[in-house]
Structure 1
Amino acid sequence: MSDVLLSAQGLRLAFGGVKAADGIDLDVRRGEFLAIIGPNGAGKTTFINMTTGYLRPQAGIITYEGQAITGMAPRRIVARGIARSFQLPQLFTEHTVLENVALAIAAREGPWSPLAPLLRPRWREEAVDLLERFGLTSIAGARADALNEGARKLADIAMAVALKPRLLLMDEPTSGVAANEKMEVVETLARVLRAAQVTAVFVEHDMDVVERFADRVAVWSQGRIAALGPPAEVLSDPQVQRDVIGIERHAAA
């Protein structure tokens, strides 16, 4: 079995004169936590959108477990074992946390009618177990629109994990989360995902989170990968410190 789970080769995509992807080459290794950093507009979310089928590259190829998925519909990509979470949590706000996770399980299982029971015993049991792993048992009965941002992020990612992916892409998992909750949220994510043997790629602006949780860091700049390697090596690079970390820390101040 190859060590490479997902491979992007020569990805190019432009919006008018803006090059969102300008020859992206990247291999994602099985079991790793890969952080993507870079200034706004560098093409980070575009890469996630191309990988998950929301955008089709104008050139290049994406393979997953050795099979091409370039331009494949998002639903088919999910069925292959790739899930994602969004910068803004995609929750059904009128439903409880438990019902949201059960809805994700129902989507994984196949066509489901709103007239059929949602919290059927098997789905309820699986949803309860997943919420326990994420530390969300105490708010299982709360409506999603009543949650704070940290709980909303965890619930959103719990829904993605309910799809049983082997690869999870997260777009800014700590965005909007209170500073004193960020590490706890990411510690929970890392513990659950590593226990489930889920490979993770995450866009992140908090360098403390990146340094603590990433196995490798990829630096995006103007649609290109400007640096790639272990956190200690990449984050100490003078150019990265000047062009990326300085921007992020200024924005957080």
Structure 2
Amino acid sequence: MSVTILETRGLTRTFGAVVAARDLNVRIAQGEIVGVIGSNGAGKTTFINMVTGYLPPSSGDILFDGNSVLGRKSRDITRMGMARSFQVAQLFPKLTVMENAMVALVAAEGTQPSFLRPLDTPQRRKLANAIFAEFGVSQYRDALVSTVPQGTRKLVDIAMALVSRPRMLLLDEPTSGVSSEEKFALMDTVMSVVRQYGVTVLFVEHDMEIVARYVTRIIAFYSGEIIADGPPKSVLGDARVQEFVIGRDLKVDSAVGESA
């Protein structure tokens, strides 16, 4: 029997007269890899922002591991085990990759560095080195983030979200800004690590090749509502999804790869 790790009930968000998200009822089982698709303004990012505590809903409830997270700050939700990576890497460019890892670990722990509690400790360095090795970025650990190639910077950003070993990871456009030659290698690395950790993944993505290849399920948004939710082949073949999200020229059978 599958265990629900994330559930939203009647989740709604309005901005004045504009309804950005309407009555969203979603259940994500532990271990799922779920893609979220939709055109710009469809409600995808609003949904992710509400779930992770960056935007309060107008109504409804959000349960993580059976506990409501309404009213909790984003950092508190992170400490509960739900991590997030952003479309634009949220890294400190003037710090090294290792220093960024130290900051991420301290934030996840909820502690404050001081003279008696330094930022860089052997235990944190051990955790950081382990995740760097798994993501294949160990050679960059002493480099300034501003000098790291864009594709690698994306990997580092996602590694920062996973360094504290969360139970769930939310990714916003993980291949945005990454060249077409790098995108599959990047996602192969990310998916290999999250499967190794047993992390549940929910990611927003515009690239249908990426979505079809890596997810076990797709949730399609349109005009603030969910118009389809199910296996990749079913959702990508849905008439409304083809009309409002992906277009009718996508070859569904060839798009859905073995990884899905």
Structure 2-normalised TM-score? 0.91
Provide the secondary structure at the position in 2 that maps to 1:119: coil
User: Would the aligned equivalents of 1:98 and 1:131 in 2 still touch at CA under 8 Å?
Assistant: no
Cα distance in structure 2, aligned partners of 1:124 and 1:146: 21
Q: Is 2:45 the counterpart of 1:45?
A: yes
Runs of 4+ aligned structure 1 residues displaced above 6 Å come to none
Q: What's 2:255 paired with?
A: none
Provide the secondary structure at the position in 1 that maps to 2:246: helix
Label 1:248 to 1:122 Cα distance change in 2 as closer, same or farther (>3 A): farther
Q: What's 1:174 paired with?
A: 175
Structure 2: 5+ residue stretches without partners: 251-260
| 1:14-66 Cα deviation digits (max 9, x unpaired) | 11222111111100111010000000001101111101111111111111111
User: Would the aligned equivalents of 1:36 and 1:204 in 2 still touch at CA under 8 Å?
Assistant: yes
Provide the secondary structure at the position in 2 that maps to 1:173: coil
Q: How many residues are aligned here? A: 249
| 1:184-220 Cα deviation digits (max 9, x unpaired) | 1111110001100110000000001001100000000
Between the two proteins, what is the percent identity of the paired residues? 45
User: Would the aligned equivalents of 2:79 and 2:110 in 1 still touch at CA under 8 Å?
Assistant: no
Label 1:212 to 1:2 Cα distance change in 2 as closer, same or farther (>3 A): closer
Q: What's 2:105 paired with?
A: 105
RMSD: 1.7
User: Would the aligned equivalents of 1:5 and 1:65 in 2 still touch at CA under 8 Å?
Assistant: yes
Label 1:142 to 1:248 Cα distance change in 2 as closer, same or farther (>3 A): farther
Provide the secondary structure at the position in 2 that maps to 1:21: strand
**Which has the higher mean CA deviation after the structures are superposed, 116-125 or 167-176?**
116-125
Provide the secondary structure at the position in 1 that maps to 2:21: strand
State the shift of 1:117 in Å: 3.6
Cα distance in structure 2, aligned partners of 1:113 and 1:48: 30
State the shift of 1:150 in Å: 1.3
**Which has the higher mean CA deviation after the structures are superposed, 129-138 or 146-155?**
146-155
User: Would the aligned equivalents of 1:166 and 1:197 in 2 still touch at CA under 8 Å?
Assistant: yes
Provide the secondary structure at the position in 2 that maps to 1:98: helix
Cα distance in structure 2, aligned partners of 1:14 and 1:134: 39
Alignment of 1:55-70 (within 5 A): 55-70=55-70
Provide the secondary structure at the position in 2 that maps to 1:83: strand
Structure 1: 5+ residue stretches without partners: none
Q: Is 2:27 the counterpart of 1:32?
A: no
- Aligned AA for 1:118? L
Q: Is 2:90 the counterpart of 1:90?
A: yes
Q: What's 2:4 paired with?
A: 4
Alignment of 1:1-253 (within 5 A): 3-113=3-113, 115=115, 117-246=118-247
Cα distance in structure 1, aligned partners of 2:114 and 2:201: 32
State the shift of 1:114 in Å: 5.9
User: Would the aligned equivalents of 1:39 and 1:247 in 2 still touch at CA under 8 Å?
Assistant: no
- Aligned AA for 1:153? K
User: Would the aligned equivalents of 1:86 and 1:172 in 2 still touch at CA under 8 Å?
Assistant: yes
Provide the secondary structure at the position in 1 that maps to 2:206: coil
State the shift of 1:2 in Å: 5.6
Cα distance in structure 2, aligned partners of 1:26 and 1:248: 28
